[in-house]
Structure 1
Amino acid sequence: MRVGLTGGVGSGKSTVSALLAELGAVVIDADVLAREVVAQGTDGFEQVVATFGPDVVGPDGELDRPRLGAVVFADQERRRELEAIIHPRVRARAAELEQEAGPDALVVHDIPLLVETGQPQDFDAVIVVDVPDDVRIERLLRDRGWTREDAESRIAAQASRADRLAAATHVVDNSGTLDDLRARVESLYAELTSAP
């Protein structure tokens, strides 16, 4: 079974992803792949530098993610340019990993921009990790040390909560404790792995 997992920044999607992996799902993390496909020495890296200039390369020779992020989150057109480089490469690598998982695996594609990139229909099920926006902002301030402006601009750059919920076949409410979340994820995993 192919499952798409998404949730807005600060929703706890990564925690849900980790719990599903603990339970036995094969998790393919688009964020990890997005870093892999533009690592130094890849054609993706070369294309990012050609498009955005040498200023986006840090002293270590890798992309300076904060600097690149500042450019693309301030300008929607520049963000689209970056996505046009990264997204096709991530999808190709994810397809390779899925093939390696085997036909009986529960394969979970952890994709932050699942809704934004029009992929919900590509999956047998779509899990949305949901939390009210004000809770997400508080978590981003507390856990990542972001400013309120940074948190609000990142949230605004993603699909709305309503759009994500409209794409969901399963919603995981993560406004409670970690134990609450674990119980919800265990129940969902049991449901998905028993589906015909």
Structure 2
Amino acid sequence: MSTAFSLGLTGGIGSGKTTVANIFAKLGATIIDTDEIAHQLTAPGGKAIPQILAEFGADSINADGAMNRVTMRERVFTDITQKQKLEQILHPLIRQETELAASKADGDYTIFVVPLLVESGNWKNRVSRVLVVDCDENTQIQRVISRNGLTETQVRAIMQAQASRQQRLAAADDVIVNEGDISSIQTKINQLHQNYRRLAGLISARNG
């Protein structure tokens, strides 16, 4: 059953957004991940590829037809103009695909996973509540180093380009502190899920 209630889920790199979203999905929420949509748009045959090729040239595209992430990452991190050009291509397409996915959602409620929710400036007005997955910055760094093989300097550069931990927490309606193992956050997620179902009108407060 699709409802008007929706949630924006965000957090810094390495905070565990995907882990949290997957648990909510198992409980019955529909998950729409804007990062996944962006990857689809920039995969071989993706809708963004012709525009990226036209704007950035042949070296922006890999031999397989996907966007060259290494080249484009270097460009957007060192040149704000290049970053804005890429965003002007991707953001309208991401929004279009996100709205299409939301129109087909059939879960108890919809969770939009948006890594740059705070930075975007408009997502907070498009969802009913904002859930932030939070953890210590050193934990973020170690997770990303282990997961992606980046150096600490590279991870810190990515974090620097994102909203600060304090800015995310200030924007939050709800917070999950993801510092331990899965079991340490399962109870919190279960509680939030029941609250979100109430807010979505699926169960009464008395029977929650």
Asked if TM exceeds 0.5, the reply is: yes
Equivalent residue for 2:115? 112
Q: 1:73 aligns with which of 73, 77, 101?
A: 77
Structure 1 stretches lacking a partner, 5+ long = none
Structure 2 stretches lacking a partner, 5+ long = 202-208
Percent of residue pairs identical: 34
Shift of 1:67: 2.0
What are the Cα deviations for residues 70-128 of structure 1, in whole angstroms up to 9, with x where unaligned? 221222222222111111111111111111125x7310001111111111121101000
Q: Once structures 1 and 2 are overlaid, which stretch shifts more, 151-160 or 136-145?
A: 136-145
Q: Once structures 1 and 2 are overlaid, which stretch shifts more, 84-93 or 67-76?
A: 67-76
Equivalent residue for 1:86? 90
Q: 2:165 aligns with which of 161, 166, 176?
A: 161
- Would the aligned equivalents of 2:76 and 2:82 in 1 still touch at CA under 8 Å? yes
1: CA distance, partners of 2:45 / 2:146: 35
**TM-score normalised by the chain length of structure 1:** 0.93
1: CA distance, partners of 2:31 / 2:46: 23
1: CA distance, partners of 2:88 / 2:146: 32
Work out the number of aligned pairs and report it.
Answer: 195
Q: 1:45 aligns with which of 43, 46, 49?
A: 49
2: CA distance, partners of 1:176 / 1:42: 37
Shift of 1:172: 0.7
**TM-score normalised by the chain length of structure 2:** 0.88
Equivalent residue for 2:25? 21
Shift of 1:140: 1.2
- Would the aligned equivalents of 2:43 and 2:65 in 1 still touch at CA under 8 Å? no
